[in-house]
Amino acid sequence: MFSQASEYCHSLRSSVRTHHDILATPVISFSFGPVSRVFIGRALCCNCMHRCCLLLFRFGDSELWLVMDLAEEGTLRDYVARAAAQGQESGADAIVEERLHLAKGAAAGLKYLHDRKVQHRDIKTPNLLLSRDGSGRLTVKMGDFGLSRCQALVTATASSSSGGRSIGSPRWSSPEQLKREPYTDKSDVYSLGVVLWELLTLQLPWGESDTMQIMMAVLMKKQLEFPDVQTLPALLRPYHKLVASCLSLSADDRPTSQQVCQALSEGAGTVE
């Protein structure tokens, strides 16, 4: 069965660019039960052909098998934890450059989704998976689309809120998520900001605080704080203002994912 799936996946790689609209169109659902989440994830990912997003394929008209890229290097949270455990070694030039490369990849993946009117809604380092490209370089891939929504679905339901419940994971959730207010692309940007904060500081967001403590802190308008900027590697110091802007309590004060990508690519620490 696995070999058949592998062969089918290989054949789909050459044809999915032509047929992805057919795969995606009929499986959008308004229900968020376990099976519907599979359908939604499949619908979204069949339309996402980007190096920083997991490729997801289906096979069989009646079977719910999913075939996707193998992210053999674990999650970005694993990477951050390993780098933190290395201490001073994590500040070596090669590792610092790799951290910046992964930050650019996470931002590129989000921009790609936003360009296609998709909100991820659960961006966090455990959902960013790592693999190696043909040159052996680490590449980040955005995964877990179980909570994602496309603009058409939001419009159809006449709401962009969380439907009476907070969504995502509190360590990475925006203030509006925790207050169950309407969700926008800028809510994704806040979560991306937390991911970038992790890559810069190599710390766990909100430390050992539990879920309730985190929610109370955010609702009381507290923000993630940077350690002394001078303790950051020199290459990463210019970006702390960019990350701080992503973490603004007001969504209106946050940059767009496109602006974040541009700032990271140009080596700019702020958004114009």
**Phi, psi for residue 172 in degrees, rounded to 5:** -115, 5
Does residue 144 carry a catalytic annotation? no
**Phi, psi for residue 256 in degrees, rounded to 5:** -85, 165
At how many degrees (to 10) do helices 185-201 and 257-265 cross? 30
- 204 CB contacts (<8 Å, ≥6 apart)? 171, 198
In angstroms, rounded to a whole number, what is the distance separating the alpha carbons of residues 270 and 68?
36
**Phi, psi for residue 176 in degrees, rounded to 5:** -70, -30
Q: Please report, in angstroms and rounded to a whole number, the separation of the first and last CA atoms in the chain.
A: 52
In angstroms, rounded to a whole number, what is the distance separating the alpha carbons of residues 149 and 240?
30
Q: Which of 21, 93, 122, 252 is catalytic?
A: 122
In angstroms, rounded to a whole number, what is the distance separating the alpha carbons of residues 44 and 94?
35
In angstroms, rounded to a whole number, what is the distance separating the alpha carbons of residues 259 and 172?
20
Q: CA torsion, points 220, 188, 43, 105, in degrees to nearest 10?
A: -140
In angstroms, rounded to a whole number, what is the distance separating the alpha carbons of residues 93 and 109?
24
Active site residues: 122
